[in-house]
Amino acid sequence: MVALGVRSGVADGNLSSYLVRPLGTNEAVICDAGTLGHGLKRAEARGVLDDIPIMPDSALSRAGHVLKQTVRAYLISHAHLDHVAGLVLSSPEDTPKPIYALPETNTLLTEHLFNGRIWGAMGDKGPEPRIEKYSYKDMVAGEGQNIEGSGLEVTAWPLSHASTTSTAFLIQHHGRAILYLGDTQADQPDGPQNLQKLWKAIAPLLREKKLHTIIMGVTYPDAQPENALCGQLRPKDLLQTLRDLGHICGGRHHIRGLRVLVSHVKETFHEGNSPVQHIYRELQDGNDIGIHFMMAEQSARYLV
């Protein structure tokens, strides 16, 4: 996995986007695309795309090759701009691909983004004339789908995120799995309990040692008040829901050593302590369950 973008807020060149690829292949998917072209160029400059095979006589840069030929599909968790801006801006240079998402997300992309007014009608649905570069693939929650040409199977589950529906994507390949969560809030007593439902679905994979890495967002520090979370998590919220996961798995020993890659920390214009370091300290201070927290870094390569 290569982190093309890992933050939220005013870091507009470093927004949520992760390239996931089985090692030794030329097939990948991208989970969210807040930063895409810039993220690929940064990754190329750092050398983390060097093992992706390209034709020696290609006129494309390695980043261009990955965008046009390696990436086989986009998995879009929700339609907020910090998760789709890179997809929009790179679309004129892109090659035809499917966009996998829950129906609500694809509808928002069709009607309010790729609609011929905000941006070109890049999809195969929506107002005419349509460019039809992207094909919208509506996912059914809890049902696995094979991503054509990638060898990957993806299953989606809905997440609660303020006034919209976000998505968790479970990506599986030859018995191994990685779980990516778009923005989510903590389960509310009077809400749909989407995190609990997700944890129950993936618990068997944890017990069987097939799932070792989860990517989740922690946007604000613990001091952020409840009424200003905007559907996001704080360190204490993440820690509590991971404790719930351990309980659902049948004991905390099932999640001890689980790697949680922390994404979506909000960048601001305030000077002072790094918000990434602040959130990491709060996670470590409350880590009574043996989770291996890592703070996502743009252009870093992770073997999961």
Q: Using 50, 70 and 90 to split pLDDT, how confident is the model at 161? A: very high
Whole-angstrom CA distances from 43 to 1, 18, 31, 116 are: 11, 11, 16, 31
> What are residue 172's DSSP bridge partners?
153, 177
pLDDT tens digits for range 100-154: 999 999 999 999 999 999 999 999 999 999 999 999 999 999 999 999 888 999 9
273: pLDDT strictly greater than 90: no
| Tokens coding 7 | 């933050």
pLDDT tens digits for range 63-96: 999 999 999 999 999 999 999 999 999 999 999 9
Q: Would you say 26 and 284 are in contact if contact means Cβ atoms under 8 Å apart? A: no
**pLDDT value, residue 7:** 97
278: pLDDT strictly greater than 80: yes
Q: Which residue has the tokens 């690829």?
A: 21
The mean pLDDT value of the chain amounts to 96
pLDDT tens digits for range 254-268: 999 999 999 999 998
Whole-angstrom CA distances from 103 to 126, 143, 163, 197 are: 13, 13, 15, 19
- Distance (Å, rounded) from C-alpha 30 to C-alpha 247? 31
| Tokens coding 225 | 């008040």
pLDDT tens digits for range 189-237: 999 999 999 999 999 999 999 999 999 999 999 999 999 999 999 999 9
Q: Which residue has the tokens 């989407």?
A: 194
> What are residue 123's DSSP bridge partners?
134
**pLDDT value, residue 57:** 82
271: pLDDT strictly greater than 80: no
- Distance (Å, rounded) from C-alpha 194 to C-alpha 171? 18
Q: Say whether the peptide bond before residue 129 is cis (omega within 30 degrees of 0).
A: yes
56: pLDDT strictly greater than 90: no
Q: Which residue has the tokens 């609500």?
A: 104
Q: Would you say 102 and 48 are in contact if contact means Cβ atoms under 8 Å apart? A: no
| Tokens coding 98 | 């499917």
pLDDT tens digits for range 241-255: 999 999 999 999 999
**pLDDT value, residue 72:** 97
Q: pLDDT exceeding 90 applies to what percent of the chain?
A: 91
What value does the mean pLDDT take over residues 272-293? 95
**pLDDT value, residue 292:** 98
**pLDDT value, residue 53:** 82
286: pLDDT strictly greater than 80: yes
Q: Using 50, 70 and 90 to split pLDDT, how confident is the model at 54? A: confident
Residue 239: which of 262, 209, 208, 205 has the closest Cα?
Answer: 262
- Sequence-distant (6+) residues with CB within 8 A of 143 are 155
Q: Would you say 20 and 71 are in contact if contact means Cβ atoms under 8 Å apart? A: no
**pLDDT value, residue 24:** 86
287: pLDDT strictly greater than 90: yes
Of 3.60.15.10, 1.10.238.10, 3.30.420.310, 3.40.50.12780, the CATH number of 2-295 is 3.60.15.10
